Amino acid sequence: MTSLSISEVTLTFGGLNALTAVDMEIEPGLITSVIGPNGAGKTSLLNCISGFYHPTRGNITYGDRSLTNASPHSVSILGIARAFQNLELFSGMTVLDNLLLARHKNLSYSFFQALFFSGKTSRVEAQNRAYVEDVIDFMELEPYRKHTVGSLAYGIQKRVEVARALTLGPEVLLLDEPMAGMNIEEKEDMVRFVLDIQKERGTTVVLVEHDLGVVMDISDQIYVLDFGEVIGAGKPEEVARNPKVIEAYIGEE
Amino acid sequence: MAANRWLATGNYFTSYQEEQRIFFTHLDRSVFMVFIALLFLWPYFFTLSNKYMLVIDNILIAMVAILGLNLVTGFAGLISIGHAAFVGVGAYTVASFARVLGDSHVVVTHFWPLLILLAGCTGAVFGAIVGLPALRLKHLYLAIATLSFQMIFTWTINFMRFFDQGQTISVGRVFWFFGKVARKQHYLFWYYVALILVIGIGLMIRNLMRTKYGRCLVAVRDNDRAADAMGMHPGLTKVYAFAVGGFIAGVAGALHAYLYRGVGIESFSLHESITYLAMAIVGGLGTLHGAFWGPVAIKMLDLQVEHLAEVAGEMLPANMNLATALRPLTFGLVIVLFLMFEPRGIANWWRIVRSYTKLWPFRY
């Protein structure tokens, strides 16, 4: 398994440091959570990993590949998938089409074969459709397969977002607040999915989340960010005792 | 229970490949086949005057052009205000052969299918070049880039001696297996050529839309950030959209050149570009059959306006040309009305009719 490491990453917007010398080691096969107050730089960090931002200084490496200046599509081809915080779904398309789009790089037929919808095209499409159905089954999206994504409830859309990232067949899954704005049942469902993704598929999960209860329960490793700096790291119980973390969350006495 | 392959009584798919079909029931397919057959056979039973044949030919050529525009603007969401220029690129490809080799040279008259293909390729090359700003620009800014191509195209042709400063360059009559296509058969001949191309290109686009090459277009339209995260290069996808759109436009241009047996700049002006855009909007952007409704509606409207002008003209002083005044007026009105009341175009009416008749006579 390849590990994702972030070393000395600094991201600057004008005079503002969104991230300052962030060091992280994301262990393969585990659930690593990134927590912190609003504006701490959690999403910026995910954007750096997935290639939407490029760090001003520092390096991000995945195995022996550098992701520092990689573009989002090349990052996703390396096997790092991202689910967005503010739903970035193709809202006019069906759930099925959304997921099939994630198979883009696996659909290996040429333009001319597609023009005539040759036997190979049909076969490859059907194979990938089977893969998509697996994910639909896994994420329990069967009733919504043919629904337009824009017409679904928020909680379901969030699930589609995670499903789409999963359809990329990633080794590392970056989840940006998958439980934000959900009710308790939907949260419980999502937690179950995240745990299943890690256990059954062996996917490394990087979770950015505000719900501390969830994070403390399911994470193997936690990093705490505040004002763009890592102020605490370690196992959930260690982090919970860290005075700096307590200070960032509930203030000084 | 055996599946009824004639009527849609339920979902009996047993494999994913079955679900890829264009026609789900034999009935759908038969209706389509009969319709196509009628399109091919009607000229044996009726003869239309040249005036109306020309209108029909024009509609078919516009359909080809709109199939391209619909791909760029409808599916990929890139507003193109230079589509007539791409059509012009195709037409002027044919014209340049006529110019260099002479308008009745064997290449122009005998190898016209090749020239049509070549015109498409030139269109694709120009499309890709004009699409390059799409790597950086978005939305209206990109639209302005396509507008500038329209301007550059018109200006260049107007000032090039090679293209006779935009005056008509004639193209010779073509040959077919039975010899030269005579004056009497000219419009009918090009009706068949255009019809075959409309059906062929239409089917190919339909095929594309059920593969990744079509889905990626809709993906960059809906959300190009997410498209990027899904492993496709949004910029290159847009350039690809322009190239394919340019190819189809080029084919339409070559057809135009052969149909009119000449190429002049006035058929590829900004006005035409906007007319194409209007056809695409009235037909229904982002739907395949919208590309068929739009040209029919706009050209028919044009015809009606002409009739109306003739009738009304008799009551007015003779020196007023009412058609010139009425045309832009009705044209503008139709676009505004469509944008206000039916932004999804005539294609949406078709969808409503279809979903109603599917369940008829039951309401559920």
Question: Tokens standing for A229?
Answer: 């700096």
Among candidate residues A124, A13, A168, the one with its CA nearest the CA of residue B226: A168
Q: Which residues of B touch A72 (CB under 8 A)?
A: 225, 228-229
Among partner residues A88, A107, A129, which is closest to B16 by beta-carbon distance? A129
Q: What's the number of CA atoms in the CB half-sphere (13 Å) around residue B172?
A: 20
3-state secondary structure of B87: helix
Answer yes or no: are the C-beta atoms of B90 and B124 closer than 8 Å.
no
Residue of chain B minimizing CA distance to A74: B231
Q: Which CATH class is domain A4-250?
A: alpha beta
Among partner residues A76, A101, A133, which is closest to B219 by beta-carbon distance? A101
pLDDT tens-digit readout, B36-73: 999 999 988 888 888 889 999 999 999 999 999 999 99
H-helix or E-strand spanning residue B210: none
Domain contains B319: no
What is the pLDDT, as a whole number, of residue A163? 92
In which band, very low, low, confident or very high, does the pLDDT at B3 lie, cut at 50, 70 and 90? Answer: low
Chains A, B: CB contacts under 8 A, how many? 103
What is the pLDDT, as a whole number, of residue B4? 67
pLDDT tens-digit readout, B221-230: 988 888 888 8
Answer yes or no: are the C-beta atoms of B148 and B156 closer than 8 Å.
no
Answer yes or no: are the C-beta atoms of A224 and A231 closer than 8 Å.
yes
Residue of chain B minimizing CA distance to A149: B222
Record: contact A90-B222, CB cut-off 8 A: yes
Chain A (71-130) residues lying within 8 Å, Cβ to Cβ, of chain B: 71-73, 76-77, 81-82, 84, 88-93, 97, 100-105, 107, 109, 111, 114-117, 121-123, 125-126, 129-130
> SS3 for B211-253, per residue?
CHHHHHHHHHHHCHHHHHHCCCCHHHHHHHHHHHHHHHHHHHH
Q: Is A170 left (phi over 0), alpha (psi -120 to 50) or beta?
A: beta
Please give the share of chain B, as a percent, with pLDDT higher than 90.
43
| Phi, psi angle pair for B360, to nearest 5° | -55, 140
Record: contact B216-A101, CB cut-off 8 A: yes
pLDDT tens-digit readout, A173-232: 999 888 888 888 888 889 999 999 888 888 999 999 888 888 888 889 999 888 888 888
Looking at the predicted structure, is the pLDDT value of residue B12 above 80?
no
* Eight-state DSSP code of residue B176: E
Residue of chain B minimizing CA distance to A122: B17
Predicted TM-score (pTM) of this structure = 0.89
Record: contact A115-B204, CB cut-off 8 A: yes
Among partner residues B19, B222, B232, which is closest to A93 by beta-carbon distance? B222
Record: contact B231-A111, CB cut-off 8 A: no
Q: By a Cβ cutoff of 8 Å, what residues of chain B touch chain A?
A: 15-17, 19-20, 204, 207-208, 210-216, 218-219, 222-223, 225-233
Determine the average pLDDT of the residues in B294-309: 88
Looking at the predicted structure, is the pLDDT value of residue B1 above 50?
no
Interface pTM, i.e. ipTM: 0.85
Record: contact A125-B204, CB cut-off 8 A: no
The owner of tokens 């991230």 is A19
Distance CA B301, CA B346 (A): 14
Chain A (194-223) residues lying within 8 Å, Cβ to Cβ, of chain B: none
Distance CA B120, CA B244 (A): 9
Report how many domains make up chain B.
Answer: 1
Record: contact A77-B216, CB cut-off 8 A: no
Instruction: Please work out, in degrees rounded to the nearest 5, the angle formed at the alpha carbon of residue A208 by the alpha carbons of A206 and A210.
Output: 150
Residue of chain B minimizing CA distance to A133: B16
What is the pLDDT, as a whole number, of residue B319? 59
Distance CA B182, CA A28 (A): 75
Determine the average pLDDT of the residues in B127-135: 89
Q: Which residues of A touch B222 (CB under 8 A)?
A: 90-93
What is the pLDDT, as a whole number, of residue B117? 95
Query: What is the nearest CA distance from A48 to chain B, expressed in angstroms?
Result: 13
Looking at the predicted structure, is the pLDDT value of residue B159 above 50?
yes
| Lowest-confidence pick of A25-29, A39-43, B153-157, B170-174 | B170-174
Query: What is the nearest CA distance from B136 to chain A, expressed in angstroms?
Result: 14
For chain A, the structural domain boundaries read 4-250
Among candidate residues B285, B315, B280, the one with its CA nearest the CA of residue B296: B280
What is the pLDDT, as a whole number, of residue B318? 60
Determine the average pLDDT of the residues in B315-323: 67
What is the pLDDT, as a whole number, of residue A181? 83
Q: Which residues of B touch A88 (CB under 8 A)?
A: 223, 225-226, 229
Chain A (35-64) residues lying within 8 Å, Cβ to Cβ, of chain B: 50, 52
Higher pLDDT residue, B242 or B19? B242
Mean pLDDT by 10 residues, chain A (253 residues): 83 87 87 87 89 89 86 88 86 89 86 87 89 90 90 89 90 88 87 90 89 87 88 85 81 66
